[in-house]
Amino acid sequence: MRRFLLVLLLAPSCFAAPVESTLIANIPGRTSVNLSGSWRVIVDPFSNGQSAGIFRDEKPRSKGDRIEYSFDASPVMSVPGDWNTQRDQLMFYEGTVWYRRLFKYQKRSQTRAFIYFGAVNYRASVYLNGEKVGEHEGGFTAFNFEVTSLLRDGENSLVVEVNDTRRPDGVPAMKFDWWNYGGITRAVTLVEVPAVFVQDYWAQLARGSQNEISGWVQLNGAQAGQKVNFEIPEAGVRQALTADAAGRALIHVTAKLELWSPEHPKLYDVMIGTGEEKVHDQIGFRTIEVQGGKILLNGKPIFLRGISMHEEAPFRGGRAFSPEDAQTLLGWVKDLGCNFVRFAHYPHNENEVRLADRIGLLVWSEIPVYWDIAWSNPATLANAQAELRDMIARDHNRAAIALWSLSNETPVNPERVTFLKQLAQEARELDSTRLITCAMNHVDKTSPDLRTLSDPLGEVLDVLGINEYVGWYEGRPEDADKIGWKSVWSRPIIVSEFGGGASFGLHGDADERWTEEYQNNLYEHQLKMVERIPNLAGMTPWVLMDFRSPTRLLPGIQDYRNRKGLISDRGQRKLAFYRLQEFYRNLAASERASH
């Protein structure tokens, strides 16, 4: 069977070349100072802080000085963390909050320093010792700024203005079905590097090969001719590289490798070094490609037994960020019988991605192009491109990442198609080794019992995601028994969402909404229908755990939570959890028997 080759039916001149990310790769493998912890905060509902000069963090020098703010007299919040769950009065707050962290530092010659933020939602303006360092937009992607010249010996004041106000031109825009957790929601790190340092690198198997490692190393501050070493000691790989005038050195080496898979998540210690530094990372090697209607992992068909999940903290609520949060959430995913997880609807924190690498979970990673946004606004496109670029830059060495997703449940119109085709083109130029997908939800009802996926976006995707809610937003669970599906595109299909709401502990008849029995009955009928979909390559039902959402208003049932979770936000498993678990375990047993 010939391999599927996707051809983008647009002239190359329609697209500009992608801009390189400025992210520093592999922060856990660097020399760094942890700036997380207790930060002083000032809530600024009218955004008056700029005119008040809060960023200068000044203190009165005399009894007559008029300074109308004080970090020292203000309360503290934990970073990382969202402000919504740290103070009850800020649960629904959207606006500006100023953060300040004092830290001591000793400057060293030939050492450069960068402030690295895992994520700030949504807009951040960063100041060090009263001087503006930079700005960032986007609530779920990392960013860093060089601060070498602004650091002082002794005490330093880092101030961040954070604003999570929803914007019509934002990504996401005005309405989305999750909580708008504001704040510095992931770790803050001061990273120390030499004058010439390894900024980024990419080492993966070349497309279509299981023994050729291809990629590059990007140096910062280098001149042409700089030497770089690339090593995988366990695999006997040692290659001396030479950087060009742009600081780029190309990797191409053949090696006999144990391939990464969910059953065998093998990671190698990879070392990239110059004369001034050595950077170590744990990297797995595998191939992921499409052949006809199948997804192939390491050249063999794989069925993706998955679940969707939000970055919502179990038990305590709020934004998940810690290794412990990741262990709990992905532990539930594994216990469900999954080999695949959809990180919806934005790039999740690095703890989750790296844990997926270690425990063997393939990942669908998505940018928050969600529902309707400003498709014709160049600034909105540039923002989406930046979020896509930084998502790929942070995680392009993670074997777990199998699919880059460009959007979720977007309307079908020409402007949207043009917008997303540009993102697809950019994603392929940035990473040719992974699959591109979107979660679509528009189908043609060609007859009462037939649904046809004909979204024109399917033309430029490797894998088609389809969200459908037969039995919840459409009809009754039993209606799924007579519905058939087809697609005009000969691509693998992942049913990226289906499900229904249930309040844990609420019991009743199978036709009574919001009960565990209704949700379980819906899964019974959905699983039988989904199995009949042509080219079905996987599924990620909605959703692992209940999560907060301001669009869910039913008192006593929802209470501002989406209740479609198979597990409650308190960790309690609903009946449908066990139904899907049984289905996946039977699938896995059947796959093992067939091999």
pLDDT at 4: 34
- One fold for 12-18+289-499+537-545+574-594 and 37-186: no
The pLDDT of residue 20:
74
The pLDDT of residue 40 is 98
Which pLDDT score is estimated for 345? 97
Mean pLDDT by 10 residues, the chain (595 residues): 34 48 94 97 97 96 94 98 98 98 94 98 98 98 98 98 98 98 98 97 94 97 95 97 97 97 98 95 98 97 98 97 98 98 98 98 98 98 98 98 98 98 97 97 92 96 98 97 96 98 98 98 98 97 98 97 98 98 97 84
The CATH architecture to which 12-18+289-499+537-545+574-594 belongs is Alpha-Beta Barrel (3.20)
Express the helix, strand and coil content of the chain in percent, nearest 5 each.
20, 35, 45
The domain spans of the chain are 12-18+289-499+537-545+574-594, 37-186, 197-285
Task: Please tell me the predicted confidence (pLDDT) of residue 383.
Answer: 97
Instruction: With H, G, I as helix, E, B as strand and everything else as coil, classify residue 425.
Output: helix
**Distant-in-sequence, close-in-space partners of 63: CB < 8 Å, separation ≥ 6:** none
Report the DSSP pairing between strands 154-163 and 123-128.
Answer: antiparallel
Q: 294, 433, 306: which is closest to 360 by C-alpha?
A: 306
- Alpha-helical runs (H) found in 311-396: 323-335, 350-359, 378-395
| CATH code for the part of the protein at 197-285 | 2.60.40.10
Q: For residue 383, give both structure tokens.
A: 């923002």
Q: Residue 421's pLDDT is what?
A: 98
What residues contact residue 130 under an 8 Å CB cut-off, 6+ apart?
55, 56, 57, 58, 157
The structure tokens 């028994």 sit at: 481
| SS3 assignment, position 584 | helix
Q: What is the pLDDT of residue 208?
A: 86
**Burial class (CB within 10 angstroms; exposed 0-12, middle 13-18, buried 19+) of 313:** buried
Q: By C-alpha distance, which of 499, 520, 498, 517 is closest to 509?
A: 517
Options 3.50.50.60, 3.30.465.10, 2.60.120.260, 2.30.40.10; CATH for 37-186 is 2.60.120.260
Residue 7: its pLDDT value, please?
A: 33
